[in-house]
Amino acid sequence: MQRGQITKYTAFTPIDLPDRQWPAKTITHPPIWASVDLRDGNQALSIPMTIDEKLEMFELLVSIGFKEIEVGFPSASDTEFNFIRRLVAEDRIPKDVTLQVLVQAREHLIRRTFESLQGVSQAIVHLYNSTSPVQRRITFNKSKDEIKAIAVEGTRLIKSLVSSIPETKIRLEYSPESFSDTEVDYALEVCEAVMAEWGPTEEEPIILNLPATVEVATPNVHADQIEWFCRHLKNRDQAIISLHTHNDRGTGIAATELGLLAGADRVEGTLFGNGERTGNLDLMTVALNLYTQGVDPLLDFSHLEHIRAVYERVTRMTVHERHPYAGDLVFTAFSGSHQDAIKKGMDARKLESGEQGRWEVPYLAIDPADIGRDYEAIIRINSQSGKGGVAYILNKDFGLDLPKAMHPEVGTVVNAAADQGSRELSAEEVFAVFQKEYVNLKSPLELFSIEREDFSKRGEVQVEAEVSFAGETMTVAGTGNGPISAFVDALQAKGWKDFNLLDYRQHSIGGGSKTKAAAYIQIQNEAGATFFGCGIDASIEMAGLQALVSAFNRAHSTSS
C-alpha cells in the first residue's frame, strides 16, 4: 500500500446537485422487487445450481412473494435455456409472476433468448451493454456514439422480434452497465436513445435499470446520481427507474435505500446478498429494514429459518453468524448490560402491551417471532455476560424467578464458571452451576426430614428435624411462628445460628401433578455479608427449609 499522498487511486467526482431533495424524504411504500438469485446469484457460485436446484429456488422466491424473477441468461448455456423451457413445460410459472431474462446487446444472443421464451405469458427482456469510460476504452475500444449505437440496435432487434412470440407480453429493461462509473449525462443520453427506439408509454413503461455494477463512491453520491437522472430524464412517467447495487464498498444496502429516497421505483437483488465479488444487494435485509419502520414490504419473510435452509442447500453458501436478521447470533446478547436491558424489555412487554403491542425492546430492532425465530438464544452466557442474562436463562428455560437482589450474586458465580472454561455455557450448564452452588445444599448442614405440630391458639409451630451437621446426625427442635422461624430457633438452640434472615420468596414451577416449589432465602452473617440459598421440592414447606439450609451452607463454606 502507498503511504502519505495516494496517487494510485483518485476520488470519485461528486454530482453537481446543490438543491438535492432526497435527504429530506422518507420511504413510505415498498419498491417493485426483482430477484436475480437465479442469474447474478447463480453465476457467482463456484458450483452453479442444477436445474432441480434452480426449480427449488424459483419456488422459494415465488412463495416469498416476488413477482419479477430473473431466471437466467438463456443464450449463455444449455442449462440456462433448458431451465426456462422446463418452467414452461411443467406449467410452473404463476400467472402473476413475470420471468426476466438477461441478454447482451448482440444479435445471435437476442435471437436465442426469444427462442427460450416460447409459451411464456409475460416476460421482461433485460438488455445491457457497458457504458463507463473504463469499459469503453479498455474492453471495447469504442467511442461514445458507437456504444450508444450498440444499445439502440439491440433495442431495435428486440422490438422487431416481439411479434415472433405473439402469445408473450414483452417488456423491455435496459441497463447501462457500470452506470455508477459512467458520466451521468452520457448514461442519460444512452437511456433516452433506447427509450426513443422502444417507444414506451405511461401504461407500458420501459424499465431503466441503473446498476452500481461496482461501488465507486459513498451512498450519498449514488443517491445524487439517481436523483440527477430522474430529474433530467425526458418523459419520466414512461420509465420505471430500477436499482441494482453491488457491495464492493460494503454499502450496497445504504446506497439502495438512499437511491429509493432519490426517486427510484424498483430494486434488483438477491437473498442474503449472494453475488459476484462482495455480492449483490441483500433483498431480505432491505425488506425487513422497511418492515421495522412500519412499512409492509409485501414480501413474506415470516419463515426466515426455512428460507435460509433452502438457500444454503441449493447454493452451498453459508449465512454469516452476524448477518442482519438471519445470522445465528443476531438475536443473541453476551454482554451483561445488553442482557439486562433485553430482559427488562421482554418483561415490560408482557406486562404492558402483550405480544401484539408496539415493539419496544432494547437492542432488538425486530421481534424475532415475526420472522419465524424464537427467544431461545437471545441471551447466551459467557464470561462477558451479566446478572440479567443469567436470570433470564434460569427463568425462561427452568422456571426459576430469582429475586432481583440475587441476580448479581448468581451472575458472578456463573460468569466465573464460564471464564474458567474460556467458553460459552449452554442453558443446561448455567442451571447446573446454579444448582451446584445454590440448590438443596447438604454440607456442612443437611436436612433429612422434619415434623411439625401447630398450636393455633398460641400462633406457634413446633418442629422436630432430623439433620446432620459436620458429619454427625442428630435431632433438633425449635418453636416459632412458622416452620422456618421454628427451624431457625432449633439452630439457635444448638448454637449454630450466626445469621439474620433478611428475605424469603417462593413460587411454583410447572403445573399439574409435576408442580414443584422454588424458594429463595437471603441471610446476613455477623460480619455483614449476605448469602442466598435456593430450595426446590414438591413441598413448598420443605422448599423453604432447604433454601434456608442452602443459604446457611453457602455462608459457612465461604467463611471456611
Per-residue pLDDT tens for 413-428? 888 888 887 777 888 9
- What is the rounded distance in angstroms from the CA atom of residue 244 to the CA atom of residue 260? 11
Do 431 and 456 lie in one domain? The reply is: no
Let me know whether 221 and 239 are in one domain.
yes
Work out the average pLDDT over 84-94: 97
Residues 223 and 354 in one domain: no
Q: Provide DSSP, 279-309.
A: -B-BHHHHHHHHHTTT---SS--TTHHHHHH
Dihedral, CA of residue 262, residue 267, residue 268 and residue 272, to nearest 10: 100
Q: CA nearest 551: which of 415, 447, 404, 429? A: 447
Q: Please give the pLDDT value at position 456.
A: 73
Residue 200: which residues within 8 A CB-CB, separation 6 or more? 172, 206, 235, 238, 239
Q: Do 532 and 456 lie in a common domain? A: yes
Q: How far is CA 73 from CA 55, 101, 514, in A?
A: 15, 6, 62
Q: Identity (one letter) of the amino acid at 26?
A: T
pLDDT, residue 444, reads: 95
My answer on whether 411 and 452 are in the same domain is no
Tell me, yes or no, whether 129 and 180 share the same domain.
yes
- Within a domain: residue 9? no
Query: What's the domain range around 496?
Result: 445-559
Q: Are 303 and 399 found together in one domain?
A: no
Q: How many angstroms separate the Cα of 122 from the Cα of each of 80, 97, 342, 463? A: 18, 8, 48, 86
Task: Say whether both 287 and 413 belong to one domain.
Answer: no
Distances (CA, A) of 415 to 400, 401, 419, 534, 544: 18, 19, 6, 19, 26
Domain boundary at 373, 407, 437, which?
A: 437
Q: Quickly state the pLDDT bin for 558 (edges 50, 70, 90).
A: low
pLDDT, tens digit, 9 for 90 and up, residues 291-344: 999 999 999 999 999 999 999 999 999 999 899 999 988 887 767 677 778 878
Beta strands in 296-441 (DSSP E): none
CB atoms within 10 A of CB 285: 22
Flag whether 478 is in a domain: yes
The answer to whether residue 165 scores a pLDDT higher than 80 is yes
Cell 434456608 belongs to: 548
Q: At 259, is the pLDDT very low, low, confident or very high (cuts 50, 70, 90)?
A: very high
* Residue 98 and residue 212 in one domain: yes
User: Does 87 score more than 60 pLDDT?
Assistant: yes
Inside any domain, residue 61: yes
Q: 142, 113, 117: which is closest to 130 by C-alpha?
A: 142
* 72 or 511, which is more confident: 72
Among 383, 405, 437, the domain-final residue is 437
Mean per-residue pLDDT of the chain: 92
pLDDT at 379 over 60: no
460 has pLDDT over 60: yes
Dihedral, 431, 437, 438, 442 alpha carbons, nearest 10 = 120
Predicted confidence at residue 93, as pLDDT, reads 98
Q: What is the pLDDT of residue 205?
A: 98
Mean pLDDT of 167-186: 97
Residue 537 sits in a domain whose CATH number is 3.30.160.270
pLDDT-derived band of residue 354, with 50, 70 and 90 as boundaries? Answer: low
Q: In this predicted model, what pLDDT tens digit does every residue of 387-442 receive, in sequence order? A: 567 887 898 889 999 998 898 889 888 888 888 877 778 889 989 999 999 999 99
pLDDT score of 208: 98
Confidence band, pLDDT 50/70/90 cuts, at residue 243: very high
Strand ranges for 351-410 from DSSP E: none
State pTM to two decimals.
0.73
Residue 400 lies in a domain: yes
Residue that is last in its domain, among 387, 420, 437: 437
Q: Are residues 197 and 239 in the same domain?
A: yes
Number of domains in the chain: 3
